[in-house]
């Protein structure tokens, strides 16, 4: 019976976790919070349904390892290089600021200096598992605040090793600075070596294995590389979580990273759920009941203090206020590595058992409330509606400081976001002399726009007050080209509530986001994922010489498969070296004659295409042979490729004429197609 005890514990844990998670789903609360509550129920501080919490904790560690492995899989070496600023600068600022605050608070409470340093270590950590799970669920890992949070969490994991090495020295237990430097040097060498192997050796090895055609051997090789990375990092005292992250980064640099993600995701989700349950088990309900004001007060102080300091670090990096608020809230809880540091510090006598229990209870409370707080954080960020003082501090104008003429604008376009896409739209509106104003939370973007003489203002478009100050009720359209999907969703919802009749045009990243934005009130949603693929497909087919109407048909089929989209295709101009150079003011388009087309069987003269449309037949390709300047008595046949030359409108009318003759209305030219070169 004893041998099956671990299995009985797992059955109890999963049964309670499923029941609580289903209840939380009905209440529309985050599943992670449900798992944490399930842990409180089955743990020793609750109903004590689990015989051995150590077994569950051991399995739960696998969840954290798999989480960091999949995070690494999504961050190749090139991507990681772009994260250096959030990791190095953002991470340093957050850890140092939070650590100093923790040290000062501990000293004010009467703790000795070594204990105060331990307190600084404890409060500096945030929960990698909870935060990354929450960001991934909201699709915000690649948002500006998401990149900062990921960078800070990576830096925190790197800090665990020197913190663990420092504890014995703080307790006077020996080790010495020289030994610590030796271990730190080994850690740096292992990390650097791992990244070098990930750039050169591992891709070569996996390509050789993949060439053998055995999926099983390839999967085992990926496991070998990952396990080897974990072992190498463990030899220097680095955490398994950091080792798993490095292993993921190594595999991500190969063509097999996406397959590794799909293989790891199911196991990750199972074991990560166990991790959240194991954290809930740590909550000592008796300690909370005995000293509720102390535990809850400490938890509140930790959440508020860490959120403010992490947000301040984001502002130092000149991030938008919204991103700073979201990052601060995401990093406000105490992390799982704090438990490791607390256990080690208690064993070394750096903190007494009673203080450790109180801190542990408060830390678990911060983790319990983190998922719902993160879910509410967009509304908290929108609370900073009028930011005139902050705008002046950053050297830009806020919306409420706009000139009287801009406050009275009517029929104008409000453009949210001033990156590459926003700049293109603003330039077009300016050239067409259409009234508009730019509203953005990125002070640098606003400052550049102001320097160019554009009507740009500092403001949060997720705030109803900012939208009203921008004159949304009188606007002709509200255009969103933001890089933060969460901000886009919130802005669409708020704008639709403020001015339901104003069209809302939004850009999103993925096709799966289109319907959600439409439900929130967007009039037109353009997914970058689909549009970029459409442009690549159009360019490829044109490069291969496929006729224009066939390209249109293929694109329509692709769009139908992707879902209903409202944007017309931009097809690159035909480039046919065998037809010679064409004048810039005319366009060359090809048309495939179908058996049911009106022109099939008629001669060029009988079709009257020149007099009816203004376009000319420049050439005809039949059975692979090109005939330039075909005679007037040449008859069109099914399968012919007709090359039409004229202006954009003329060739569009000619294509319609060939298809339907005089009874078919001419279609307008496709917008945005560049002239032939």
In angstroms, the Cα distances linking 322 to 144, 549, 574 are: 10, 46, 45
Q: Enumerate residues 6+ apart whose C-beta is below 8 A from 87.
A: 151, 152, 154, 155
The mean per-residue pLDDT over the stretch 281-305 comes to 90
Q: H or E stretch including 163?
A: helix 144-170
Lowest mean pLDDT segment, chosen from 259-263, 362-366, 530-534: 259-263
Is 388-522 a domain of CATH 3.40.50.150? no
The pLDDT tens digits of the residues spanning 644-661 come to: 998 888 888 999 899 988
Residue ranges of the domains in the chain?
5-188+195-253+275-382, 388-522, 577-663
Q: 395 or 351: whose pLDDT is higher?
A: 351
**Intra-chain end-to-end CA distance of the chain, in Å:** 81
Is 5-188+195-253+275-382 a domain of CATH 1.10.3330.10? no
Q: State the pLDDT at residue 125.
A: 94
Q: Model confidence at 475, in pLDDT bands (50, 70, 90)?
A: very high
Residue with tokens 């004659």: 593
Lowest mean pLDDT segment, chosen from 281-285, 303-307, 346-350: 281-285
3-state secondary structure of 48: coil
The mean per-residue pLDDT over the stretch 450-476 comes to 86
5-188+195-253+275-382 and 577-663: same fold? no
Residue with tokens 């130092």: 316
Q: State the pLDDT at residue 390.
A: 53
Q: Enumerate residues 6+ apart whose C-beta is below 8 A from 283.
A: 39, 40, 43, 45, 46, 361, 364, 365, 368
pLDDT at 346 over 80: yes
CA 651 to chain centre: 42
pLDDT at 57 over 80: no
Measure the CA–CA gap between 322 and 36, rounded to whole angstroms. 28
Instruction: Output b/e per residue, 114-123; b: 16+ Cβ within 10 A.
Output: bbbbbbbbbb
The mean per-residue pLDDT over the stretch 503-510 comes to 91
Lowest mean pLDDT segment, chosen from 21-30, 288-297, 422-431: 21-30
Q: State the pLDDT at residue 487.
A: 85
Q: State the pLDDT at residue 97.
A: 94
The mean per-residue pLDDT over the stretch 598-611 comes to 91
pLDDT at 670 over 70: no
What's the mean pLDDT when you consider all of the chain?
81
Tokens of 161: 């090793």
The pLDDT tens digits of the residues spanning 184-229 come to: 676 677 777 877 877 778 888 888 887 787 777 877 888 888 888 8
Q: H or E stretch including 233?
A: helix 215-235
The mean per-residue pLDDT over the stretch 669-676 comes to 37
Q: 629 or 265: whose pLDDT is higher?
A: 629
The mean per-residue pLDDT over the stretch 173-181 comes to 59
Q: Label the pairing between strands 413-416 and 436-440.
A: parallel
Residue with tokens 């600075």: 177
Q: Model confidence at 498, in pLDDT bands (50, 70, 90)?
A: very high
Measure the CA–CA gap between 239 and 632, rounded to whole angstroms. 80
Q: Enumerate residues 6+ apart whose C-beta is below 8 A from 666.
A: 613, 652, 653, 656, 657
Measure the CA–CA gap between 602 and 642, rounded to whole angstroms. 13
Closest CA to 380 of 278, 458, 490: 490
Q: Model confidence at 420, in pLDDT bands (50, 70, 90)?
A: confident
Measure the CA–CA gap between 509 and 528, rounded to whole angstroms. 5
Closest CA to 260 of 70, 80, 133: 70
- Structure pTM? 0.62
Lowest mean pLDDT segment, chosen from 343-352, 543-552, 628-637: 543-552
Under CATH, which number does the domain 577-663 receive?
A: 3.30.70.1450
Most confident residue range from 62-76, 367-381, 394-408: 367-381
3-state secondary structure of 621: strand
Measure the CA–CA gap between 103 and 122, rounded to whole angstroms. 10
Q: Contact 590/644 with Cβ under 8 angstroms? A: yes
Measure the CA–CA gap between 208 and 601, rounded to whole angstroms. 57
Rg of the chain over Cα atoms, rounded to whole angstroms, equals 31
Q: State the pLDDT at residue 392.
A: 53
Tokens of 636: 């069109």
The mean per-residue pLDDT over the stretch 32-49 comes to 86
Q: 182 or 27: whose pLDDT is higher?
A: 27
pLDDT at 332 over 60: yes
Q: Model confidence at 156, in pLDDT bands (50, 70, 90)?
A: confident
């Amino acid at each position: 019976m004893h041998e099956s005890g671990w299995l009985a514990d797992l059955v109890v844990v999963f049964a309670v976790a499923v029941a609580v998670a289903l209840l939380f789903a009905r209440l529309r609360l985050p599943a992670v919070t449900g798992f944490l509550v399930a842990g409180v129920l089955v743990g020793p501080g609750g109903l004590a349904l689990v015989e051995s919490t150590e077994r569950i904790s051991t399995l739960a560690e696998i969840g954290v390892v798999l989480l960091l492995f999949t995070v690494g899989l999504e961050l190749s070496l090139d991507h990681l290089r772009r994260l250096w600023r959030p990791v190095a600068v953002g991470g340093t600022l957050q850890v140092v600021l939070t650590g100093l605050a923790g040290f000062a608070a501990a000293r004010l409470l009467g703790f000795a200096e070594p204990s105060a340093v331990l307190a600084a270590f404890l409060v500096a950590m945030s929960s990698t598992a909870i935060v990354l799970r929450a960001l991934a669920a909201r699709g915000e890992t690649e948002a500006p605040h998401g990149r900062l949070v990921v960078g800070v969490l990576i830096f925190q994991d790197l800090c665990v090793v020197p913190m663990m090495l420092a504890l014995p020295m703080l307790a006077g237990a020996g080790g010495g600075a020289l030994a610590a430097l030796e271990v730190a040097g080994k850690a740096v060498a292992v990390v650097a070596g791992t990244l070098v192997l990930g750039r050169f050796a591992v891709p070569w090895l996996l390509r050789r294995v993949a060439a053998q055609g055995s999926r099983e051997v390839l999967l085992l090789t990926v496991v070998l590389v990952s396990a080897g990375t974990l072992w190498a990092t463990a030899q220097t005292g680095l955490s398994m979580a950091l080792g798993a992250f490095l292993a993921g980064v190594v595999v991500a640099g190969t063509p097999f990273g996406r397959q590794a993600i799909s293989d790891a995701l199911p196991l990750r989700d199972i074991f990560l759920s166990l991790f959240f349950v194991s954290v809930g088990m740590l909550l000592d309900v008796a300690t909370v009941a005995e000293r509720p004001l102390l535990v809850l007060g400490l938890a509140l102080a930790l959440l508020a203090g860490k959120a403010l300091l992490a947000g301040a670090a984001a502002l130092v990096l000149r991030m938008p206020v919204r991103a700073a608020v979201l990052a601060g809230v995401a990093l406000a809880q105490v992390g799982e590595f704090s438990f490791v540091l607390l256990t080690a510090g208690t064993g070394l006598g750096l903190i007494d058992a009673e203080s450790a229990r109180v801190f542990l209870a408060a830390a678990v409370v911060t983790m319990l409330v983190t998922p719902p707080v993160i879910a509410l954080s967009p509304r908290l960020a929108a609370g900073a509606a009028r930011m005139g003082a902050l705008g002046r501090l950053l050297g830009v104008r806020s919306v409420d400081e706009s000139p009287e003429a801009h406050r009275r604008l009517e029929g104008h376009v409000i453009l949210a976001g001033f990156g590459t896409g926003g700049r293109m739209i603003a330039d077009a509106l300016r050239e067409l002399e259409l009234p508009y104003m730019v509203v953005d939370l990125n002070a640098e973007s606003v400052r550049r726009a102001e320097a160019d003489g554009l009507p740009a203002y500092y403001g949060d478009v997720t705030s109803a007050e900012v939208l009203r100050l921008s004159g949304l009720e009188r606007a002709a359209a509200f255009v969103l080209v933001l890089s933060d999907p969460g901000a886009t969703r919130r802005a669409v919802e708020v704008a639709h509530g403020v001015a339901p009749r104003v069209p809302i045009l939004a850009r999103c990243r993925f096709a799966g986001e289109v319907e959600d934005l439409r439900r929130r009130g967007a009039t037109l949603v353009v997914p970058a994922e689909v549009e970029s693929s459409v442009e690549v497909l159009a360019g490829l087919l044109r490069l291969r010489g496929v006729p224009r109407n066939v390209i249109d048909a293929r694109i329509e089929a692709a769009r139908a498969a992707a879902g209903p989209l409202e944007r017309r295709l931009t097809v690159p101009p035909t480039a046919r070296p065998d037809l010679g150079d064409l004048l810039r003011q005319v366009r060359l388009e090809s048309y495939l004659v179908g058996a049911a087309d009106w022109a099939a069987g008629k001669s060029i003269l009988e079709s009257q295409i020149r007099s009816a449309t203004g376009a000319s037949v420049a050439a005809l390709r039949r059975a692979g042979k090109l005939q330039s300047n075909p005679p007037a008595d040449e008859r069109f046949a099914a399968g012919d490729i007709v090359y039409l030359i004229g202006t954009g409108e003329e060739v569009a009318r000619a294509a319609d004429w060939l298809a339907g003759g005089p009874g078919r209305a001419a279609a307008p030219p496709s917008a945005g197609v560049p002239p032939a070169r």
